[in-house]
Structures are given as structure tokens and as C-alpha cells.
Copies of this chain bind each other. A is one copy, B any other.
Amino acid sequence: MSVPEPAGGEEAKQAKEAEDAEKFSFMATVTKAPKKQIQFADDMQEFTKFPTKTGRRSLSRSISQSSTDSYSSAASYTDSSDDEVSPREKQQTNSKGSSNFCVKNIKQAEFGRREIEIAEQDMSALISLRKRAQGEKPLAGAKIVGCTHITAQTAVLIETLCALGAQCRWSACNIYSTQNEVAAALAEAGVAVFAWKGESEDDFWWCIDRCVNVDGWQANMILDDGGDLTHWVYKKYPNIFKKIRGIVEESVTGVHRLYQLSKAGKLCVPAMNVNDSVTKQKFDNLYCCRESILDGLKRTTDVMFGGKQVVVCGYGEVGKGCCAALKALGAIVYVTEIDPICALQACMDGFRVVKLSEVIRQVDVVITCTGNKNVVTREHLDRMKNSCIVCNMGHSNTEIDVGRLLNLSCSTVPTFVLSITATTQALALIELYNAPEGRYKQDVYLLPKKMDEYVASLHLPSFDAHLTELTDDQAKYLGLNKNGPFKPNYYRY
């Protein structure tokens, strides 16, 4: 099967790959003394090969694997299946006799189910949504074709969509990130899933095609992560868009592609950008990085934070999270910024704003969170102290103009953060599917603030947080609806 060129070409795909690896913290220890010279060749190979297709969810997965016995035993089970037959060539049937799926090994379903059940515990918001809306079935009649990472967490999402009335067909947006046992559990539960860990590029598009191109079933909703599914439908089955009520897209890259389509007048259905919803953004960046910077550094180095001099390049949400955590643990933190407003915030938050060259000789750790390129240059590396740690927390891997360095993956994304994303996706699907004619045109939309607030409210019970309700009188005084939205669109939380 020939692979058609995606809208944005190879560049867009690489961008998505980098994005998948976005939280893949790049760590380096500068070592100058010859006696400690370590062979980096293999490491560099690994760096250029793996991260490009290793999504953050799979990272989360791989690390939790090592953290409990139940996981590790299972993992070894998976690994030991040195079954080299391609899933495409296997004949598999689930316990109800269906073979409307293609996974690595349907027999792993039971273990996958246990993983899904564990994930459900930290995704109570989604379960709660499932329960609240199960009677009314807001997705009754929805035929959703999806393309995302396939992990225990997305399985909770998929099964929620089903519980709300939808029919789902699913493929993986990343050739390495699929948890085979979870795919098996979904298949066993009746979801038409086509995905396994270690797909070839040809497998990748084959799986997508199996989801879209079905006799007697036509999708009316798309849930995409990266835009590959959307692209495939555009190129191969444009007629399908006549029935599609909307696209929900999560990734920066996919959203970028949609805006390009819209600009070019080629977007033929409404699309919802869930990447930029407030709740999701705060958790993906500020809250998540506040914890993962500590975790990542500790896992990969022997560093004590107390008294360490650290420079953080960039004071956006990611930088703010890193700075707050490091300061709290006794590090002395410097900030570099290009934006004077963010620089002023750094000042007021107690960080000296410097140019990197001013402090590069004295710092113990350099952390980049800019999204920019060449922030740390060869020249900076040359001037660093011996054993200075360099770490990239940004979304791209261009921030450090590396020479030969040791790199290590180290960061995880808690299930709670993934719960925020999955709930946002579910609500976006519900909104688009049920929106009255004319509410959404052929354009890209942000999630309505009211639904953004609803995502937040579904997550409050896990903190035992009790929201206050406006009285009628107060709502009138403030000119607000008692059920929200509570803030204007431009509000800066």
C-alpha cells in the first residue's frame, strides 16, 4: 500500500513525533575529565531513534511497569511472547466469537482488563461522567473513529464513549506506544481496535484504514491525536466528511494542521482544538512539570537540590512549574527570558533574571523550557562547570545544540493528568455531536468555557473539594448564569 503525502508533509510528521516525545526530558551531564569519558555513541543512537516514536503515555506506562509487582510480572509475560508472527496474519477471536479487531494477542485481555481497572481508579472524573450521562446516552448514534495512543488510560476513555452510546473503531497514533494487553482487553470487550506495539509504517496506515474503510458502517465523528487519521480520510475517503459532524484533535501538530486547512478554506467540518483548553493546559504544563522536574532529575542523577544553583531558560508555564519546585526545595534559581512581561513575573516571584552567559560558569543545573532552538549552545557547554547537568523540559528537542552527550529518559505523566485530557476529549465529542445546526461552522474552535469548567468540576471530588453555588441574587448581581461560565473568555487564570 502506498502511503500518501500528508498535508504538512514529512515536516508535520516529525513535529508530531517530537511532540509525542515532548515530556521526554533530555538530561546530560557535562563531563570534561578524560578519565570519566563514557561511550556515548550508543546513547546517541538511542536518542535519535527512540524518542521520536515513544509517546509520553508509553513512558508513563513503562515506568509504572517497574513500580509494582503485578505490573512487572505481566510485563515479562508480554516480553516473553517472542511470537514473531505479524498480528495481521493471525486469526484471533474474542470470547464472544468476534474477530472484528487486530491485536498482538487476545489472550492478554485479562491482564489488560486489570490495568484498565487500575487506571479507572485515578480517572474517577471519567467514570463519574459515564454514570451521569449513562441514562441519557448523549452519544447514542455516534460512530466514532479514533486514532490515539492505546493505553489503559485511553481505554477508559473509549469505554466511556461506548457507555454513552457511541460505536467506536480505533487505531494507534504511534507505532511504539500501544499497550498490547490493553488493546486485547478492548478487543475482548467488543471494541474494534487495530493496534499493536511495534507496527511498521505500513501496518500503521493499514490499521487506520481498517478503522475507516468498513462495509456498512460509516463514521460520523473523528477523534484524532496528531492528524494522521484526519489526513488519511482527506486523501482517501473525502466523501466520508459529508457525514462527519466534527473532528476533535488533541495535539499541537494536529491542531496546527487544522488551522492550516481552515486558513486554506479546505476544512469542511467543524473541528475542536482541545489542546488549548484551560484545564488541560494547566495540568500538562504548570502542575505536571512542577513535579516531574524533581522526579526526572532524581531518577537520573545523584543531585541534591538544596543549595544548587540552577538556571531555568524560559518562564512560561513549564518554567514557572520548574522554578517553583526547585526554589521550594532549596535551590537558588536564575531565569532567562525574552519576554519582558514574563521576566517581570520572574522578578516578582523572587528569581534573578539574567542572560545565560552571565551565570553559565557557576550553575550546577541548566533547564530549558523555551520551545525555542539553540538556547544552550556549544559555547555555553564549553564554559559549564564539570559535571553540570543539562536538562530539556521543553516541547521540542532543539533547545540544546548538543555535541556528544549522555541522555536519559526520566519523566512520567500521572494518570490524573491523562484523566483531564480524556475527559476534555469526551466532552468535546459530546458538544460537537449534539450542537444544534449552525452553532459550529467549518472552523477550528476552542472548547466552550462552560465545558472547560465542567472538566474541572468533574475532577474536584477527587480532592474532596466543595464548590460554592451562587444564590440567584448573587448571580444577578454579577450578571452570570448560576451554572457558569463564570469568567470571560480572555480571563487569565
Q: Are B336 and A468 in contact (CB under 8 A)?
A: yes
CB neighbours (8 Å) of A490 from chain B are: 276, 489-490
Q: Are A352 and B306 in contact (CB under 8 A)?
A: no
The smallest C-beta distance from A297 to any residue of chain B, in angstroms, reads 9
| Bound complex: CA A339 to CA B453 (Å) | 7
Q: Does A109 contact B (CB under 8 A)?
A: no
Q: Are B291 and A304 in contact (CB under 8 A)?
A: yes
Q: Are B67 and A343 in contact (CB under 8 A)?
A: no
The smallest C-beta distance from A66 to any residue of chain B, in angstroms, reads 9
Q: Are A353 and B456 in contact (CB under 8 A)?
A: no
8 Å CB contacts to B: which residues of A124-168? Answer: none
Count the copies.
Answer: 4
The smallest C-beta distance from A233 to any residue of chain B, in angstroms, reads 28
CB neighbours (8 Å) of A351 from chain B are: 332
Chain A contact-residue range equals 35 or more
Q: Does A117 contact B (CB under 8 A)?
A: yes
Q: Are A467 and B345 in contact (CB under 8 A)?
A: no
| Bound complex: CA A490 to CA B489 (Å) | 9
Q: Are B67 and A344 in contact (CB under 8 A)?
A: no
> What 3 pairs between A and B have smallest CB-CB spacing?
A328-B328, A353-B465, A340-B457
Q: Give A residues with C-beta under 8 Å from B.
A: 29, 35-36, 38-39, 42-43, 60, 64, 67-70, 114, 117-118, 121-122, 276, 278-279, 281-282, 287-288, 290-291, 294-295, 298-307, 309, 325, 327-332, 336-356, 358, 362, 371-374, 386-387, 398, 406, 408, 412, 414-417, 452-454, 456-457, 459-460, 463-471, 473-474, 477-478, 484, 486-487, 489-493
